[in-house]
Amino acid sequence: MSQSSFKRATSRRSANRKALEQKILTAAEGVFAEHGFDGSSLEAIAESAGLSRQNMLYYFPSKESLYQNVLKHILDLWIEKMALMGQAGDTPATMLENYIRGKLEISRIHPDGSKVFANEVIRGGSYLKDYLEKDLLPQLEADLELVRGWIASGKMDPVDPEHLFFTIWASTQTYADFSSQISLALGKSELDEEDFTKAGDFLTHVLLKGLGLR
């Protein structure tokens, strides 16, 4: 086999492995969201992924490994896509609106991941502590400094920056974590894209006006 052929074959194997690992993580995300960590089994996750238990364990050697990877996946998404400093826009209002709508979009696309995260926090967050301290808190501090700068320069009302983020997190994640309750209240079988658009319209109107940005 030529060197170029070897590289192509290696690349294909790597891509196939990543696709299979993602398939397993998606299955695990759904099972953990429905049953919690303690109520989930490797057999149920393997069945959902369409694999044998033994085959799945080749990629993830334990239930704890699967669980930690599911948590890391959703947190990586939040940190990568939800950093306020990374939002498009040249005004606080635009950046905050994009932040809120982006957070809702993750709740819409990855509701199971959000539920797994919420359940872990309720359990005490032992699997999250190191990750939160090393990755999430530095990003939060950078975003807090940005908001403090806006306040100091008179670009928005003087509010508590920490509680601003807590409010945004809670109000956007509820559309994933409590989707069944909201669907019931709306008389629907499940939330659709229009519901998330309306939620974004409402939250940006209320929060931005409350911050003196509208």
In one letter, which amino acid is 77?
L
d(CA 69, CA 75): 10
Q: DSSP class of residue 127?
A: T
Domains of the chain, by residue range, sit at 1-61, 68-211
Report if pTM > 0.75: yes
pLDDT of residue 88: 74
The per-residue pLDDT for range 146-204, each reduced to its tens digit, is 999 999 999 999 999 999 999 999 999 999 999 999 999 999 999 999 999 999 999 99
Q: 3-state class of 82 per DSSP?
A: helix
Q: What is the spatial distance between Cα 72 and Cα 78, in angstroms, rounded to a whole number? A: 10
* CATH of the structural domain 68-211, one choice from 3.10.560.10, 1.10.357.10, 3.30.365.10, 1.10.3720.10: 1.10.357.10
151 Cβ neighbours under 8 A, 6+ residues apart: 157, 158, 159, 161
d(CA 23, CA 71) in angstroms, rounded, equals: 15
- The CATH code of the domain at 1-61 is 1.10.10.60
CB 108 within 8 A of CB 21: no
- Output the pLDDT for position 102: 92
Q: What per-residue confidence (pLDDT) applies to 26?
A: 93
42 and 63 Cβ atoms separated by less than 8 Å: yes
Q: What is the pLDDT of residue 77?
A: 83
Q: In this predicted structure, what is the pLDDT of residue 130?
A: 86
Q: Tell me, what's the pLDDT at 99?
A: 93
What pLDDT score does 11 carry? 65
Using CA atoms, how far apart are residues 3 and 127, in angstroms rounded to an integer?
A: 43
Q: Give the tokens for residue 83.
A: 């950093």
Based on the number of CB atoms within 10 Å of its own CB, is 122 exposed (0-12), middle (13-18) or buried (19 or more)? Answer: exposed
Residue ranges of the chain whose pLDDT lies below 70: 1-11, 13, 214
Return d(Cα 6, Cα 38) in angstroms, integer: 43
